[in-house]
Structure 1
């Protein structure tokens, strides 16, 4: 007979301030093309089987079995299956928490292949089972399973959990996003947004970046560039007129920004799309 005794040690790890909002298991057997969308909460996307693509506005990740993607609030994203290969995945929404890398970087994190995929997959499966059956104590079990999952992710990927006040931040960040989407033609500075939200300038900028993955000014420029692409494709307006109508301070700055983001000048973009449509 062998006997080993282990005592529970005290820990100074703070309790995670998070809440499970939803969980889904999705299986796509077709060539799926969803649309870009955002959420006001953090999402965890875990591939059970198959492979596909996970897309953000300016980058694409190839995903396969065992991959996990963390999507911060208000970051536009979508997923695509690969032709002939089904993609099965869990996606859960969690509130009141976001993540930082140990180097302080925010934004998306795409993680590949946990060493023990079965244990991670089992946690998702148990959570889905409890949510579906809604038996006595299901919410508490799901909450505890969520905390186990997050601790495994933090330990594996060396992340720092950040508590966020979703209700307050959602309202203010959504207000900024709506303002930028609507008033992109105007001259907008951080001071403009500060007066709009009555927040400290630097706190406001940091908070928006945490949710959108971009600073307010970066988001504004991306918005302007998207509109400019539509005008370049669908109208014969001059580059100078398009620069002015989309809120850029000058044609040269517009061209510089366009080339930096798309890898070509506005005229080259217009010519390329004109040739494609012929």
Structure 2
């Protein structure tokens, strides 16, 4: 008779103050509009099948079956499938913690690919099943499964969880960002934003810059430019109409800001991106 016996070494394992907020299973069936968005919590995205790209504002990463992506709070992102290879993926939302690499104090997106991806996929599948069936003890089971997943990620990629309070955007900054994303075509000044949040103008600008890496006006102009690029590519509106629709005070100012950011004029941009 063969016999193997292993003792468990007792260790003081610090508790992870994480809380599972949601679990979803999605498949790109050509009816999904890929748009940049953010969340106030950490997301973990696991590719079950397919190939595509994971997009951030200034970065694109190819993704495939078995890849896992950790997205910190308030980081704009979206995903796109490669034609003929639709992405199917789990996404979980986690409150309480974010992640960082051991040698990097700043929170950032983290990519992992596991040798035993079926083991990781099974953890997501069990969480999804428990949330969907809502049976007795489902919440507790999900919480334990989440902690197992986090430990396996930490073991694989040498990352550490950090309290989400260290990266959380303030309520007021989140309110400003949402307002700018929605009302970018309107006439907006720092005074507009201070009246919205009732914050001191200079403190408001400093706080927003701290959490987004740019001032409110810089963020506003970038948001306007992104929409302008889409209109230049996909419509035949005049440059004057586009500058007006995206909130710029004049066509000349629009052209000046556009050239400074992209290195070319709006007309040249249209010519490049509408070539057959």
**What TM-score range do you get, normalising by the shorter chain?**
0.7 to 0.9
1:109 and 2:113 aligned: no
Gaps of 5+ in 2: none
Partner of 1:75: 75
CA distance in 1, matches of 2:23, 2:15: 22
The superposition leaves residues 120-144 of structure 1 with CA deviations (integer Å, 9 ceiling, x where unpaired) of 1111111112112222211011001
Q: Find the aligned partners of 1:240 and 1:220 in 2 and give their Cα distance.
A: 14
What does residue range 53-68 of structure 1 map to in structure 2 within 5 Å?
53-68=53-68
Q: What is the DSSP-based 3-state SS (H/G/I as helix, E as strand, rest coil) of the residue aligned with 1:140?
A: helix
1:227 deviates by 4.4
> How do 1:153-232 residues align onto structure 2 when only pairs under 5 Å count?
153-165=153-165, 169=169, 171-181=171-181, 182=183, 186=188, 188=190, 196-197=198-199, 204-206=208-210, 208-209=211-212, 214-217=213-216, 219-229=219-229
User: Deviation above 6 Å: which 4+ runs of structure 1?
Assistant: 238-243, 246-251
- The answer to whether the 8 A contact 1:243-1:250 is kept is no
Partner of 1:10: 11
Comparing both chains, which one has the higher relative contact order based on Cα–Cα distances under 8 Å and sequence gaps of 6 or more? 1
- Answer with 227-236 or 101-110: which moved more: 227-236
Q: Tell me, yes or no, if structure 1 residue 255 matches structure 2 residue 248.
A: no
Q: TM-score, normalised by structure 2?
A: 0.75
Segments of 5+ residues of structure 1 without an aligned counterpart are: none
Mapped partners of 2:262, 2:109: distance in 1: 23
CA deviation map 1:163-214 (0-9, x unaligned): 2259x8463232120343436855559x969x854668766543x23xxxx5
Distance 1:141 1:147 in 2: 10
Q: Which residue of 2 aligns with 1:52?
A: 52
Distance in 2 (CA, whole Å) between partners of 1:276 and 1:138 is 54
Q: Give the Cα separation in 2 of the matches to 1:246 and 1:126.
A: 55
- d(CA) in 1 for partners of 2:8 and 2:119? 24
- SS of residue matched to 1:47: strand
**For 1:234, what is the secondary structure of its paired residue?**
coil
Is structure 2 residue 237 aligned with structure 1 residue 237?
A: no
- Find the counterpart in structure 2 of residue 34 from structure 1: 33
